[in-house]
Amino acid sequence: MEKAHFLFLVALVASLATASSSTTNVVARNNTNDHDLDALLAFKAAISDPQNILPTNWSTSTSVCNWIGITCNRRHRRVAAIQLPKMGLVGTIPPQLGNLSFLVWLDLENNSFHGNLPTQMVHLRRLKYFNLAFNSFDGSLPTTLSNATMLETIRFGTNLITGYLPQDWSALQNLEFLDMENNQLDGPLPRSLFNVSSLQIFSFTNNTLSGYLPARICDHLPQLKGLYLSNNEFSGAVPAGIGGCPRLQVLSLSYNNLAGNIPKEISNLTMLRVVFLAPNDVQGQIPADIGNLTNLEQLGIEVANLTGNN
């Protein structure tokens, strides 16, 4: 009799444990969307965490909205932000991350991620902030990156990204900050980039980009504050159209193959603080009116083949 009673208790405890586990999983899934949970679990499986934070904290026993680095929106309780910078994470981005349809903010800066950027990431139509800087991502950028039309910030600097840039950027009319410096990009800059009128920071320093800069470079860049194109292989003249960027504060074109004169239109840039043009093969006279740029702090043309204006 006692043995039968004991076996009954064992069976009861086991059934309660199973029910509790099932209830926990149901609760975890009811607190968010199944796609969000599955995407984050796939992400967790694709990375290793030397600090062992994610393996213990990212548990299905709690809602993903309570996980470290995860923020959900209030209305739908959907994943709106992933913020995991400087955590020493190692791994890849799985394609399932492209299923986070409410994601607005993705910050994985300064980790040790590698591999290609999945093409599924362009499905993140609500994404505004996309920061993968200081990792080891390689391969080329998805050609359909511009499908993420809400993007305001792209920071992919200091990776191992190669190849040509996507040709079509015209749909990214909310883009303000574009950082692709310290990669291995080559080929010309797509002309559609110069039609993104919202751009404020345009940074491609330390690549192997080539070709000519558009003569009317600023026609559709009224908000541009920083143009960083040093350490590339651009050729041709410094475009006279650079004078059409009224808000420009930093013009960095050093260590290219540019030639010709410094355009006098540079004197129109009354907000200019920094100009780096050397070394290049620019020559002739320094425009006299450049002395009227009262905000100018650094003028890097000291080794160019130039003369003053008498």
Residue 26 belongs to a domain: no
pLDDT at residue number 5: 46
Containing structural domain, residue 236:
164-310
Q: Are 72 and 80 in contact (CB under 8 A)?
A: yes
Residue 245 lies in a domain: yes
CATH classification of the domain holding 178: 3.80.10.10
- Judged by phi (left if over 0) then psi (alpha if -120 to 50, else beta), residue 70 lies in beta
* Contact yes or no for 260/235 (Cβ under 8 A): no
Residues 6+ apart with CB under 8 A from 157: 133, 134, 179, 180, 181, 182, 183, 203
With respect to residue 132, please indicate whether it lies within any of the assigned structural domains. Answer: no
Domain tally for the chain? 1
Name the strand (E) or helix (H) holding 9.
Answer: helix 2-30
Q: Note the pTM of the prediction, 2 decimals.
A: 0.87
Alpha helical stretches, state H, 53-113 = 53-57
pLDDT at res. 27: 43
List the one residue out of 145, 185, 187 whose CA is nearest residue 166. 145
Residue 2's pLDDT is what?
43
In a domain, 183, yes or no: yes
Is 148 among the domain residues? no
Written as six digits, the tokens of 136 are 């080891």
Distance set, CA 67 to CA 23, 39, 108, 143 (Å): 19, 14, 16, 32
Q: Answer whether residue 277 is part of any domain.
A: yes
Q: What is the largest CA-CA distance in the chain?
A: 114
- What local confidence, expressed as pLDDT, does residue 287 receive? 84
Domain-located, residue 256 = yes
d(CA 49, CA 91): 9
Residue 251, domain member (yes or no)? yes
The per-residue pLDDT for 63 is 94
Those residues of the chain that have pLDDT short of 70 are: 1-32, 302-310
